[in-house]
Amino acid sequence: MAQVAGIGLRSPHLAEIARDLPATGFLEIHAENYLGASPARQAIERLREAYAFSVHAVGLSLGSTGGLDEDHLARVTTLVKRLDPAYVSDHLSWSVHGGRYYNDLLPLPYTEEALDVVVRNVGRLQEALGRQVSIENPSCYLGFAHSTLTEPEFLAEVVRRSGCGLLLDLNNIVVTAHNLRLDPLAWLSGLPAEAITEYHLAGHAVNDCDGQPMLIDDHGSRVGAEAWALFDAAVRRYGVRPTLIEWDTDIPALPVLLEEAGKADRAIGSPSPHAARAA
Amino acid sequence: MPLALPDLQAAFAAHVAGGDRADLAAVIVGDSIPAEARLRVYRHHVSHSLSAALAATFSTVHALVGEGFFRGLAQGFVAEALPMQPVLAEYGAGFPAFVAAYEPARALPYLADIARLDWALNVAFHSPEGRRLAMADLAVIEPDRLPSLSIALPLGAALIGSHYPINRIWSASQPGASAETVDLEGGRADLLVLRRADDAAFIVLDGGEAAFVAALAGGESLEGAAEHAASAEPSFDLSTAFARLLSLEAFAALRQF
């Protein structure tokens, strides 16, 4: 069957991919790494002829009460218009406050107040780009006591009010559910299926946090068994979508990354009966 | 009492930057892992990921001092100067000055110059290549106009001068370099950092060439820059230096052509 799983394009693999053009569903880039006129950007512009692209932003800070940084938005818009990618996305989180960038996907309370902020910012982003963007569920290490919505309820409401898509990161669901003592399958149920545009898969680390295990979304290993099981469940429930293998730290040799993408393609071809029951 | 979102984000930002905020912990679900420990995950990630970004940009500094020392250095800088925007390749303009003032690095007097070189290579890498001045461009200019010509450096180019042989220190610190002892008394280095087709690189200039390039970059005409160079280095020969720099594609194409 056709390859629907793609890989994150990371700089150590760029020359090899440009030379060998390995078969893969699509290439994902982080927008913030290609805003300058570097040789790396010239290389991905050439690769655009051979591959479908997903432009994944990490710094738009869609949850910032201060609104989007218009300078940064303009640069991302220019990149998106140059590449005309199949997908554009960022996260349900914030990373900018008071003109400082914190380089993390910081958590939001899931309240009406936050909903207004996110819907306004997503609307501004979609208006600037002239297209739909997808919002990814983040990995959470804490929850706020005054949240009035669950994370999936909040995401569904952002979709309803802004018309954005959903990027479902199965590993982030595993991480968040473990850290916040939630049921990952319950988290997964009840999303608006037609809004889901993409799946993400990645590995995570387990750290000790005051004597308790805390899952950390480090994108530094193969996809874990729980994320594969949840992926099966998502495909059963919502259908096949372009699926990305993310690997950003301790980056392996390219064949290892392509092998993980191959595993995702095989899983799509035959979701396990166990996962079907679980869903 | 829940914090309004702008106040919550202000408190959260202050907390991850190192200030403890009791009002923040009070709005976080603690259960089996206390709120403070959960907040530490974010604080730790902000500091470590920004340190890692600096290690990528200042890779030669990192190679010279090692991970442990670099982490202390980088975390000191991060605590003082968070990024102003989300492009990590553009974070760290102030790092060389921070290195220069960093007391524990005092025994490595060349380290700040290496940081300036790393930064210049990073800036050049992310700059457009742009067309370069070629001999043929000059052939069409009337000879009597040449002395008054202004010639610019390519976008992203930088002249880095040091009292230490930073070109040799840099080369010996690259991955895969063979072990080499660099004599710190080996004399000053003047390097011109340039964007190349597939990367960024530096060329080593002699004293006359460095004065010449610096004067051109400062807006002097060809003739004026040659005078600066000759006063810095009496043996400076304009035609030799100019031909060498042209062949190295060290100048931007003329704007009026």
CATH number of the structural domain spanning residue B251: 3.90.930
The answer to whether the Cβ–Cβ distance between B84 and A101 falls below 8 Å is: yes
Name the average pLDDT for chain B.
94
Instruction: Mark whether B90 and B152 lie in a shared domain.
Output: no
The answer to whether the Cβ–Cβ distance between A141 and B86 falls below 8 Å is: no
Instruction: Mark whether B142 and B234 lie in a shared domain.
Output: yes
pLDDT score, position A273: 43
Instruction: Mark whether B102 and B136 lie in a shared domain.
Output: no
Show residues of chain B in contact with A111, CB under 8 Å. 2, 5
Q: Residue B18: pLDDT above 90?
A: no
Amino acid at A239: G
Show residues of chain B in contact with A11, CB under 8 Å. none
Instruction: Mark whether B98 and B54 lie in a shared domain.
Output: yes
DSSP label of A149? S
Express each pLDDT in B84-115 by its tens digit: 999 999 999 999 999 999 999 999 999 999 99
Question: Given the DSSP bridges, would you call strands A87-91 and A134-136 parallel, antiparallel or unpaired?
Answer: parallel
Q: What are phi and psi of A11, to 5 degrees?
A: -55, -35
The answer to whether the Cβ–Cβ distance between B27 and A71 falls below 8 Å is: no
Instruction: Mark whether B80 and B196 lie in a shared domain.
Output: no
CA–centroid distance for A27 within its chain: 13
* B113 inside domain: no
Instruction: Mark whether B50 and B133 lie in a shared domain.
Output: no
* B118 inside domain: no
Number of separate helices (H) and strands (E) present in chain B: 11, 3
Show residues of chain B in contact with A35, CB under 8 Å. 87
Across residues B29-52, what is the average pLDDT?
93
Taking the CA of residue B55 and the nearest CA in chain A, the distance in Å comes to 14
Q: Along the 279 residues of chain A, how does pLDDT read in single tens digits?
A: 467 999 999 999 999 999 999 999 999 999 999 999 999 999 999 999 999 999 999 999 999 999 999 999 999 999 999 999 999 999 999 999 999 999 999 999 999 999 999 999 999 999 999 999 999 999 999 999 999 999 999 999 999 999 999 999 999 999 999 999 999 999 999 899 999 999 999 999 999 988 899 999 999 999 999 999 999 999 999 999 999 999 998 999 999 999 999 999 999 986 544 433 333
Which of B38, B46, B90 is closest, CB to CB, to A142? B38
pLDDT score, position A271: 53
The answer to whether the Cβ–Cβ distance between A36 and B87 falls below 8 Å is: yes
The answer to whether the Cβ–Cβ distance between A102 and B28 falls below 8 Å is: no
Contact A220, A247 (CB under 8 A): yes
Please count the structural domains in chain B.
2
Interchain contact B235–A (C-beta under 8 A) = no
Which of A70-74, B176-180, B213-217 is least confident? B176-180
Interchain contact B6–A (C-beta under 8 A) = yes
Taking the CA of residue B169 and the nearest CA in chain A, the distance in Å comes to 24
Domain that holds residue B217: 129-257
Instruction: Mark whether B35 and B146 lie in a shared domain.
Output: no
Q: d(Cα A80, Cα A53) in Å, to the nearest integer?
A: 10
Instruction: Mark whether B35 and B133 lie in a shared domain.
Output: no
The CATH classification of domain A5-278, taken from the options 3.30.70.270, 3.20.20.150, 3.40.50.300, 3.90.78.10: 3.20.20.150
pTM confidence score: 0.94
Q: Residue B47: pLDDT above 60?
A: yes
DSSP code string of B72-103: HHHHHHHHH---SSS-GGG--TTHHHHHHH-G
Instruction: Mark whether B151 and B251 lie in a shared domain.
Output: yes
Instruction: Mark whether B135 and B82 lie in a shared domain.
Output: no
The answer to whether the Cβ–Cβ distance between A36 and B28 falls below 8 Å is: no
**3-state secondary structure (DSSP) of residue A213:** strand
Instruction: Mark whether B18 and B134 lie in a shared domain.
Output: no
Across residues B216-229, what is the average pLDDT?
96
**Torsion (CA) A93, B48, A207, B64 in degrees, nearest 10:** 150
Which of A35, A61, A145 is closest, CB to CB, to B28? A145
Interchain contact B199–A (C-beta under 8 A) = yes
